[in-house]
Amino acid sequence: MKSEKDKLSTALSGISGEYFVAAELSRHGLIAAVTLRNTRGIDILASRPGGKKPATIQVKTLQRGNKHWLLSKNDERSKGKHHYYVFVTLHGRNGTPEYHVVEGNTVARKCAASHRKWLKGRKRDGGKRKDSSMRIFAPGESFRDGWNRIRFD
């Protein structure tokens, strides 16, 4: 079991994920620009060299992996044809990061559907569940290392 001193702060974990994703995008021949922290919903702008249309990327990072990311109600809304999420699991300070690349429209659709299903369920005591702004998203293995999903046309 890792000690608390081996754990990164949430802020450092998030920043690490963004830079790992930017490095992977560069490794795949794309130009990646990490945005300032105040750019809501967009962590990285990516484009082909000489390309005119960028893709926007939102990065969500876990330090180790249950592969379920917390999102919000806002993630149920489409942010455009060229918006993507990259879900990163760092696997600790010395591990190899794992990436799941998902189209933003897919995240929006799956988030909404899974939340509707959750709302129809019951609490442990049998009572009705109350709506919440929190969403849980699990991309699944079919999205692992899906860098080719990022499109610019």
CATH architecture of 4-149: 3-Layer(aba) Sandwich (3.40)
Residues of the chain with pLDDT under 70: 1-6, 38
pLDDT at residue 65, as a whole number: 74
pLDDT at residue 128, as a whole number: 92
Q: What are the structural domain ranges in the chain?
A: 4-149
Residue 16 to residues 12, 90, 97, 100: CA-CA distances in angstroms? 6, 8, 10, 16
Whole-prediction pTM: 0.89
pLDDT digits (tens, 9 = 90+) for 39-61: 788 999 999 998 889 999 999 99
